């Protein structure tokens, strides 16, 4: 292996390791923030102020035994969580860190192609479980992801058309703040990211009152940890990606810091809003947001 490839691999390993640690402590942060919002302490038993709670949860998930689900499609059942983690690691390789050694000319197009595979993970997870609740949750989640993926693509045309580039590195180097130019579109884009990641109040694929736990009902142990990692890793990534597209900075620390700051809004949404209605969510995407974006694009391009 060449020196360049080895350096690149070591850099990616550090990124992935930092991602794993971030997801671990983001879950504890979510439980802590929700606890204080609901006038309680949250996790505070394991370690000082509960700081070792994520490590305890990780060890429990990875060392817990996992049995074969009867009548399930075993290969797709195991393949879906692994693909979810692979997609997460791959999209973080496209992130334009200032110290990156690989300049990706078509980073945004590659990101859209790879990120679109998440819908297959949700669909396969529910279908392969051979459970009515998992299947209903996967169908809901797939339709929701596809709907807001379309909205996400059209919203991305605005900054790309002004940037004249589909390379994510150009957004970092130029550093133009599109948030002031398109405040309403940036807000709609952020809402679409919340819906695309199946987070509250749009968590219809995991509606406990209706679907037990949704598409991941039959999962446990390592495979559930992979699905969990994929979901929370996507939350952190899309927050950093939103900052990258609308509040561009050349410094990695500012992008990551603002990304983590905006990822806290996912926690506040979960703590503050009741679950939306599924039909209203789909109508909101196709009949309101998409039409508004089309009119906005027509006005900008003309």
| Residue-range domain boundaries for the chain | 69-301
Q: What is the pLDDT of residue 274?
A: 84
The count of other CB atoms within 10 Å of the CB of residue 82 is: 15
User: 175 with 248: CB under 8 angstroms?
Assistant: yes
Q: What is the pLDDT of residue 87?
A: 92
At residue 143's C-alpha, the angle toward residues 141 and 221, to 5°, is 20
pLDDT in tens, 198-250: 887 888 766 655 666 778 888 878 888 888 888 889 999 988 888 888 887 66
For the four alpha carbons of 90, 91, 96 and 97, in that order, the dihedral sign comes to negative
Q: What is the pLDDT of residue 169?
A: 81
Q: What is the pLDDT of residue 151?
A: 87
> What is the reported pTM?
0.88
User: 254 with 244: CB under 8 angstroms?
Assistant: no
Q: What is the pLDDT of residue 1?
A: 44
CA distance 120 to 142: 8
3-state secondary structure (DSSP) of residue 139: helix
Q: What is the pLDDT of residue 163?
A: 80
Q: What is the pLDDT of residue 86?
A: 92
Residues of the chain with pLDDT under 70: 1-4, 98-102, 175, 205-212, 249-251
For the four alpha carbons of 235, 236, 240 and 246, in that order, the dihedral sign comes to positive
The count of other CB atoms within 10 Å of the CB of residue 257 is: 14
Q: What is the pLDDT of residue 100?
A: 60
């Amino acid at each position: 292996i060449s020196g360049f490839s080895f350096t690149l691999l070591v850099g990616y390993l550090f990124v992935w390791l930092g991602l794993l640690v971030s997801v671990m402590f983001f879950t504890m942060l979510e439980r802590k923030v929700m606890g204080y919002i609901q006038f309680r302490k949250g996790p505070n038993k394991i370690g000082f102020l509960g700081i070792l709670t994520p490590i305890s949860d990780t060890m429990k998930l990875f060392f817990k035994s996992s049995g074969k689900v009867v009548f399930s499609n075993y290969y797709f059942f195991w393949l879906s969580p692994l693909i979810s983690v692979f997609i997460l690691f791959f999209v973080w390789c496209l992130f334009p860190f200032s110290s990156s050694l690989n300049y990706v000319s078509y980073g945004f197009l590659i990101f859209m192609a790879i990120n679109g595979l998440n819908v297959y993970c949700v669909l396969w997870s529910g279908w392969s479980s051979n459970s009515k609740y998992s299947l209903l949750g996967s169908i809901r989640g797939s339709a929701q992801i596809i709907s807001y993926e379309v909205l996400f693509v059209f919203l991305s045309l605005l900054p790309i058309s002004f940037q004249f580039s589909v390379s994510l590195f150009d957004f970092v180097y130029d550093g133009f703040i599109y948030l002031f130019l398109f405040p309403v579109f940036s807000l709609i884009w952020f809402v679409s990211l919340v819906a695309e990641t199946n987070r509250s109040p749009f968590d219809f694929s995991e509606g406990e009152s209706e679907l037990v736990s949704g598409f991941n009902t039959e999962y446990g142990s390592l495979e559930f940890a992979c699905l969990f990692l994929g979901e929370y890793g996507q939350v952190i990534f899309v927050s950093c990606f939103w900052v990258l597209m609308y509040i561009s900075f050349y410094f990695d620390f500012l992008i990551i810091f603002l990304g983590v700051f905006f990822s806290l809004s996912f926690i506040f949404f979960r703590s503050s809003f009741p679950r939306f209605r599924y039909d209203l969510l789909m109508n909101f995407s196709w009949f309101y947001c998409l039409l508004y974006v089309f009119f906005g694009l027509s006005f900008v391009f003309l």
